[in-house]
Amino acid sequence: MNPSRPDTPSHYGSTTSVVARNRVLRNTYLLLAVSMIPTVLGAWIGLVSGINYALSSSPGLSAILFLAGAFGLMFLIERNKNNSLGVVLLLAFTFFMGLMLSRLVGFVMGMSNGTQLIMFAFGGTAAVFGVMSSVAATSKRDFSGMQKFLFIGAVIILLAALANIFLQIPALMLTISVLAIGIFSAFLLVDLQRIVNGGETNYISATLAVYLSLYNIFSNLLVLLGVVGGNND
């Protein structure tokens, strides 16, 4: 049997694999786009309801609420990633993350150029996503080896951010934001390459991973822009 014939089993298996990868990638991008709606809605409700002020008044309590809610929902999403409840939980998670983001958004919106800074942060995040998507799709290099070091870096950043709630050191906050943007940009590259290469077969898990990276890139860009380019006049 000629292995180059399109009706051979090897070609059929390869075609099936490509179709499956494309389906996961397509569904991931679609669900990621949909997840932005509850994120924006959550941030808006946080602003108009005054929740952002409540979060600002008690940073320690809001940090505990954020960690408990985020990790609790992520656990439930992973447990239900193979059924439709996983999609519902993912959208609930993105709404919650938008609600938690309202504290930072409210702070930036209090500046005279706040709207402009938010648009810059959104544009910067979109640019990072575009670059990482392109690299993931075209590069022959395997970036999965970075995952262990990136995870360690993310844990260190999380611990440093929690410590700075009480220390309130501006230089440390800026350092954390710069490192977070770099680490989660790399995470985004690793996750996108895994999806493109067929290493991730569940689009709900894929969406969650990509969303978390984009969320962290956007929020830390917003912190940097607010501190460096914010206008309080």
- Arithmetic mean of pLDDT, 24-39: 95
Residues 6+ apart with CB under 8 A from 68: none
First to last CA, the chain: 77
* pLDDT, mean of residues 53-74: 89
- Tell me the pTM: 0.89
In a domain, 22, yes or no: yes
- 3 occurs within a structural domain: no
| 2 domain-assigned | no
Domain annotation covers residue 45 = yes
Tokens 């290493």: give the residue. 199
Looking at the structure of the chain, the number of domains it has is: 1
Contact 47, 110 (CB under 8 A): no
Res 14 pLDDT > 90 = no
- Assess if residue 48 is contained within a domain: yes
| pLDDT exceeds cutoff 90 at 203 | yes
At residue 90 the predicted structure's pLDDT band, cuts being 50, 70 and 90, is: very high
- Rg of the chain in Å (alpha carbons): 20
Structural domain that includes position 101: 9-229
Residue 16 pLDDT exceeds 70: no
pLDDT at 233: 60
pLDDT recorded at residue 205: 95
